[in-house]
Each structure stands twice: as structure tokens, then as C-alpha cells.
Amino acid sequence: MITLEEKEFLEIFKHFNVTSGHGLMEQNLSTRINYLSPPIRRKANEILNELVNKDYINYKSDTNFYILTDLGEKELYGDFNINDGLKELLEMFSHFKVAEGEGIMENNIQAYTATNKMSPLCKKHINEIIQYAIQNNYIMINKNNFYILTEKGEKEAY
């Protein structure tokens, strides 16, 4: 069970949109600790060690990286839901004002996800979300590798 102090500290990883298997350098953590409440700052090393002991994060001493674990990711973001991912994907089509029969290129998707417009879990699962959208006829891929919005996709997006 995670304490409120540990949760506040773990939020540093959320600030940087870190997902499981990815991490922060020790210096990134040190910088963000200054933004935590004074009681948390005073106990930062103790809290960090406890998060490692409880397997919310792992420490890689050879690189000075703190890696978020699956347990840590679940604590920060909850469980991934494909329908939430589909909603965010279709919001991207709406952002680009794509209509039925129109499309966007893969690099548009990559740029959109890189600018933090999608949640960290959706970024992590973007390929799975795209495949789900294709399989369920929200989008399709044409011969030029454009992702084309279908009638069903447009209705859902707008």
C-alpha cells in the first residue's frame, strides 16, 4: 500500500509523463523535489528508498536512473482502457479537422503524440489503439499509408 507522501513523490514521474520501463535521471528527480511540500522534501531520500523497496520504481545504479515499474504506472495512471485510447485517437482527427474520407499521415500521429496531447498510457499503446480503430472500422489505411477517417469514425469524433 502506498502512503500519501509516497504518492506525492511518485507524481514527479507523472509530471514527466513517464510510463513503465522508462525513467528519470537522479538529477531530474532532485530538481523536481524542490516543488514538493516541505515535509516531503525533508524525507525525500527515505520516501524514494521506500518506493524502491515497494517496487513502484527501480534504481539502476550504473546509469543513475530511476525506472517506473508496472506497479508504479498503475498507481499513477490506473489501468489502460482501449476505449479511452480510441477517444483520444479520434480527438486527434478532430484536432486536425479531418472529415470522413480524409486522412492524416503517420508522421502527423507521431508529432501529435510527441507534443503531449495524448495521455501517457495512450502514447504507450498508440499502435494497439490504431489497430483497434482499424479493426472496428473507425479508420482505415489507404495504399499511400494515410490513416483515413471512416463514416463511423467521423460520427464518433464529432
- Structural domain harbouring 32: 4-77
CATH code for the domain of 86:
1.10.10
pLDDT in tens, 96-147: 999 999 999 989 898 898 886 789 999 999 999 999 999 999 999 999 889 9
pLDDT in tens, 35-48: 999 999 999 999 99
105: nearest Cα among 153, 138, 139: 139
13: nearest Cα among 2, 5, 22, 4: 22
**Class of residue 74 by CB neighbours under 10 A (exposed 0-12, middle 13-18, buried 19+):** middle
Which pLDDT does position 117 carry in this prediction?
79
d(CA 127, CA 57): 25
Answer whether 46's CB lies under 8 Å from 93's CB.
no
Q: What number is the average pLDDT over the span 16-26?
A: 95
Which pLDDT does position 116 carry in this prediction?
66
Q: Compute the CA torsion angle 73, 78, 84, 88 (nearest 10 deg).
A: -40
Q: How many domains does the chain have?
A: 2
Same domain membership, residue 91 and residue 70: no
pLDDT in tens, 44-95: 999 999 999 999 999 999 999 999 999 999 999 999 999 999 999 999 999 9
